[in-house]
Structure 1
Amino acid sequence: MKRFWLFLLCAGALQNASGWGQKGHDVTAYIAECNLTPEAAQQIDRVLNGRSPVYYANWLDSASHTPEYAYSRTWHYADIDEGYTYDTMPKEPAGDVVTAVNDLVAKLKSKTLSAEKEAEALKMLIHLVGDMHCPMHTGHRDDLSGNKIPMTFFGAPTNLHSIWDTSLPEAAHKWSYTEWQSQIDRLSDDEATLIESGTPKEWFMETAALCKPIYEVSSEGTNVSYDYVHKFTPLIEQQFVKGGHRLAKLLNEIYE
């Protein structure tokens, strides 16, 4: 049993770049797609050669594990221990989710990229804004954002990071990504404006603050069951909406 837990922790560490699972990224991208201006939607359709943002929402998770894009593995997260801010925390030399989002936005706004590089940057941005709103991608550095905290999910061995990446969103609602959007993306104009304000660094710190109550009820050996799912489903819905609207804001600014 001990060997199994060690294997599970190692496997979890290798998955540190996964972000929301497929459904979470699809939902975030679709909410963004539904809030694009007509001008931005037309330009993005051109850049992605007729594909939608949802089509590429999970592309970077696979690409980061290829030699060509291995440099982007640390871009999916920024581990931050309690008591630190983004400015004071130790930084990944190859970059993190905040530096990556800011850099991609700047490159796309420059309008100097080749068609191939523009499509690449856009696909990366679609994914990484989603990652920025997944709490366990702003978790503690000393436990690898929950990868080193073994837990069970309805009795099945896993870890805190994996629970928040995939298991919890999938348990919250058995909806398609279009159903998620139709049910939770119901902001007034004033609410949307408020959510879309701020910078990627501020959005990151906002997500990092959400980790405190999560860690408080997610100690090693915790079995996640219906009460945990019920407690955190509203937070997951909130993060999907925030991620989607903020991605739309960036894309509308890039392709205004």
Structure 2
Amino acid sequence: MLWYAVRWSGLVNEALIPSPHQVVAKFADLLLHDNLLLDIWSSTRRVFLGVSLGIMVAVPVGFLLGWYRPARILADPMINFFRALPPIALIPLVIVYFGVDEPAKLVILFYAAFFSGVIVMYEGVSQITPLYIRVAKTLGAGEIEIFRKVIIPLTVPHILTALRVALGVAWATLVASELVAAQRGLGAMIQNASTYFLLDVIYVGIICIGCIALIMDLILRRISARLLVWQERAIA
């Protein structure tokens, strides 16, 4: 209703805002005649691989920085320096070093997922209270048992939070990654549509990215609720 109201208000030229039913019609047309599902699959696969690889590296690095204060003091300026660099600014260098094929797109998504994930991870781990570890030692737990039964469970919530943040950042970076000579993908579709001023196609691409990101986030929330049910029991 708000969308229709803005379009009919006269505040904005109607030619610049396609109506919802026009966007739905274009979505159906792209789905049936222009391999929209292939674009969705290409983008989702890239985001999944980029985030998976980024988090696989960010978790141990973030844990190391969060658990060992000297390492955090040493690496914190460098981490924050690279985190502040937008991935789109690195595209020329990525093309030089990795070419224009699929690895270049994954490098950009990896970069975005890693630095967002490692920040969340080490900030969370650094705030873990040592009280639980002292209690476990008092009860006779060894180093391996403390790591397995105390540290890992306390770290899992931060891993899941880092994964959710990295996933959101990766979807936000998708269009930039697909600037690198992508033939298929939602970002490539949006870029091509902008060249020919196809606003309804741009809207379809934007809405698809938002919906897929929302679905993936909801799945992660469900997984988090199942894995962290012990927290509710502990609080109760």
Q: TM-score range by the shorter chain?
A: 0.3 to 0.5
TM-score with structure 2 setting the length: 0.33
Q: Which has the larger radius of gyration?
A: 2
TM-score with structure 1 setting the length: 0.31
Q: Give the structure with the larger helix fraction.
A: 2
